[in-house]
Structure 1
Amino acid sequence: MPLEEEVKAARTEIVSDGYEMSIGEIINLYKDQELIIDPAFQRLFRWDDTRKTRFIETLLLGIPVPPIFVFQDENGVWELIDGLQRLSTVFQFAGVLRKNDGEAIPPLHLNATNFLPSLNGKTWDASNEDPESGIGQALQLEIKRARVRVEILKKESDAQAKFELFQRLNTGGAPLSEQEIRNCVAVMVNREFYDWLIQRSDNNDFKVTTAQTETAIANQAGVELALRFIAFRHSPYDGKLDVHEYLDNAIFQIASDKAFDRARETEVFEKTFALLNSSLGTNSFKRWNGNEFKGKFLMSVYEVIAHGTASNLDAISALPEQEQREFIINKAKSLWDEKTFDNNSGGGVRGTTRLSNLIPFGAEFLKP
């Protein structure tokens, strides 16, 4: 299909509308549950008080703010796609932001700024102890009357349109990791799948064998590793897409698949990492130097050993228990003598090349 036709076809998949609204109207929509921020997204509300204060200052000074993007469902309710940091800041300052269980999030106390040093310590409403602590009705109205454009993705749009839009737009404020964005997509597609995937990443055997750092955990690296494990089994990699684009597509495809057997996949996941933990523990995905396992977690080893073990789980499990562990240990050591692995791992190998070759190699290499 010529490029012009592809562009035309893609445009027809997105049905949109938009208009300006006051911040006060948006606050009321949120209070009336006509504007939804999925509670899972609130974990990603990561602006510190300085950045929150700067945004409130922007509204008070009348400086234009970027549009927000929402998806309108079949009931006319808006689901926030982009604008989490900005709207959550306003809602928290106004004292209406809620947690998943309905508990109120403590109101925001502002900091001083260069333009408005008297903002220091100010809140939306004054406290009983300090009548001067609030910003006052006049400034409350200034914020409520500030206007922002709302871009609306209509329900008639293609099913994947809002997820594409979320991925492309949700990079402002405190940038999200690619897996955090995928998590949000999974929430929007299938909340039960998202919860299930998070549970898999919290499996103790999985956490021990992947030996993740605190930083990696914070950036949802464990969830990405769990997704890779599932994706390799259910979304064959053809080598055409960038690895992260492949994972983007895989999470949408698997979360949308009503036939996906979570019970079976839970069993495979848990048995695979229990076997790896009992065999190698924290050395499961490290380099073998001929004498010992050393160094840090290696993605190439994970892709071979984890996927290969899962692909041959029934055959490996049929061996006597001690032989199962010896088999895994010997494979983890002999992997470093394999030419296919050597040619397709290491820093100089593209991710697309590595995956294209190591995923099928792992399934063969781990056959008893």
Structure 2
Amino acid sequence: MSESYLDDVNDYDDQTGEDELEPVEIPKEVRNLRTQSYDKSVRDLVAMIDDGDIDLDPDYQRNYLWENKKASLLIESILLNIPIPVVYVAENDDAEWNVIDGLQRLNSLYRFFKNDFKLSRLEVLSELNGLTYHNLPPKAKRMLGNGMFRVVVLLAETHPEIKYDVFMRLNTGSVRLNEQELRNCLYRGAFNDFLKECRFNEKFLSCLKLKETHKRFVDAELVLRFLAIRENYDLTTCKLNYPGRMKTFLNMFMAKHQNAEPEKMVEFARVFESCMDNIYNVLGDTAFRRPDRDGNHETRINRSLIDVIMLCFSHLTAEQCEQNKDLYATHVIELCNNDSFLDAITYGTADSKRIATRLELGLKTFGIVDDEPNSQI
């Protein structure tokens, strides 16, 4: 294990059991997949990218660029009229296209048209090796620009969960996108940008033992989980408005706040920053790892424990944390050695009852809600 214990997107000390849960029922009246197919020339696609009508996710581009050899073979295939796989996009409310499948193909085309690389290792059209788009013979330029792509558009009125499901089914690239990377594509907007900014919080990075933000947005998903739980948890009843599956819960929250008002973003920022200040003041950089009875911490982080820690500390003041450091640190050790709590943060952690158990036990231990019997535990 390297110094960072988030190198692997699946490197967690908890198991969600998400695949074993019943699927969330989508109402029949909105259970529709609306699509429209277009034949677009390469020239048109490049122009749409230039105009911002097609969004090539810059974060994705940085992490998953095709090597020039593979991009060159795509260019050669177009020049040879070899059929190219269909590109799938999702239309947003502004009629912009977010790429579901085909991002590498479009990105390679765009890079070549911008003279970012030279053609290399072509076997059929070997005379074009070493040339950029600018240096191509006029005939080759025309043939490339006239090359056709079939584009299937998932229209904006398609239910968000159906869009997400289609995205998951088509997610078959050499590096499969994780759930938060998919959300980056489907829910672009003010809230997604906000989540990306939160990842730069130094105390948050320290608790995750990351020297820089995670290239696959695991850190952004942790912030999303925290805010979704906090906004949907009723302290008076100790109940979470939860649909039964974590990924659906997070998708719904992102869709709801996709283009939230600036005032809401300011509120989210205040809550997150004060929460991390409190956590770091009391627990330091081991806050997100499970302690044993002696205070020794696990190597891997535990997402379910993070949910509880962040929810609890977001409802405490800076003064409370300063005055009760030792007590609150002891509370975490007590919780993590409580059999019911330990079970709720380890196995089947996306299950509604286990979520209810761990959140309520945490809030009661920290004195945020009354320590009275509750039917959920």
TM class by shorter chain equals 0.7 to 0.9
Tell me, in whole angstroms, the C-alpha distance in 2 between the residues paired with 1:263 and 1:25: 39
> What's the RMSD between the two structures over aligned residues?
3.3
* 1:269 aligned onto 2:272: yes
Q: Please report how far the alpha carbon of residue 203 of structure 1 lies from its aligned counterpart in structure 2 after TM superposition.
A: 1.0
Q: Quickly say closer, same or farther: Cα 1:349–1:241, change in 2 above 3 A.
A: closer
Deviation string, structure 1 residues 63-94 (Cα, Å, up to 9, x no partner): 2112224456788x642433322112111111
Answer yes or no: is the 8 Å Cα contact 2:292–2:337 preserved in 1: no
Aligned ranges 1:1-368 → 2 under 5 Å? 9-11=30-32, 14-31=33-50, 35-37=54-56, 42-43=61-62, 46-70=65-89, 78-82=96-100, 83-95=102-114, 107-113=116-122, 120-126=129-135, 135-154=136-155, 157-158=157-158, 160=160, 164=164, 167-168=167-168, 171-173=171-173, 174-187=175-188, 191-212=189-210, 217-236=214-233, 237=240, 240-255=243-258, 258=261, 261-296=264-299, 297-310=301-314, 312-314=315-317, 317-319=318-320, 321=322, 323-346=323-346, 348-352=347-351, 354-367=354-367
Q: How far apart are residue 247 of structure 1 and its match?
A: 1.6
* Unaligned residue ranges in structure 1 (runs of 5+): 96-105, 127-134
Distance 2:326 2:170 in 1: 47
Aligned residues of 2:345 and 2:354 also touching (Cα < 8 A): yes
Check 1:255–1:48 CA distance in 2 against 1; reply closer, same or farther (3 A cut): same
1:167-209 superposed Cα distances (whole Å, 9 cap, x missing partner): 346625443221112123331xxx2222222222211111112
With over 3 angstroms needed to count, the CA separation of the structure-2 counterparts of 1:115 and 1:355, relative to structure 1, is farther
Amino acid at match of 1:92: R
CA contact (8 A) 1:272 1:309 kept: yes
**AA of the residue aligned to 1:282:** D
Task: Tell me how far apart the structure 2 counterparts of residues 7 and 50 of structure 1 sit (CA, whole Å).
Answer: 47
Which range is displaced more, 253-262 or 170-179? 253-262
For CA contacts below 8 A with separation 6 or more, give which structure has more relative contact order.
2
Q: What amino acid sits opposite 2:152 in the alignment?
A: E
3-state DSSP class of the match of 2:187? helix
Q: Name which of structure 1's ranges 275-284 and 246-255 shifts more when overlaid on structure 2.
A: 246-255
Secondary structure of residue in 2 paired with 1:248? helix
Q: CA shift at 1:318, angstroms?
A: 4.7
- The one-letter code matched in structure 1 to 2:350 is G
Shift of 1:335: 1.8
Q: How many residues align?
A: 333
> Residue 81 of structure 1: SS of its match in structure 2?
strand
Cα distance, 1:305 vs structure 2: 1.6
Structure 2 distance, partners of 1:283, 1:32, is 46
C-alpha distance after superposition, 1:138-177 (max 9, x if no partner): 322232222111224455x257489547734662544322
Residue 198 to residue 151, structure 1, CA distance change in 2 (3 Å): same
CA contact (8 A) 2:46 2:110 kept: yes
How far apart in 2 are the matches of 1:154 and 1:320?
49
Structure 2: distance between partners of 1:255 and 1:247? 12
Residue 288 of structure 1 deviates from its aligned partner by 2.2
CA shift in 2, pair 1:162/1:26, >3 Å: farther
Report the structure, 1 or 2, having the larger helix content. Answer: 1
Matches of 1:213 and 1:241, distance apart in 2: 34
Deviates more, 1:241-250 or 1:200-209: 241-250
Q: Alignment identity in percent?
A: 21
Counterpart-to-counterpart distance in 2, 1:227 and 1:257: 14
Query: For residues 351 and 72 of structure 1, what CA distance do their matches in structure 2 show?
Result: 30
CA contact (8 A) 2:31 2:159 kept: no
TM-score (ref. length: structure 1): 0.77
Partner of 1:100: none
TM, length-normalised to structure 2:
0.75
Given that 2:304 and 2:349 are in contact with CA atoms closer than 8 Å, whether structure 1 keeps it comes out as: no
- In the alignment, residue 351 of structure 1 is paired with which amino acid? A
Structure 1 residues 78 and 309: CA distance shift in structure 2, 3 A? closer
Counterpart residue type for residue 248 of structure 1: N
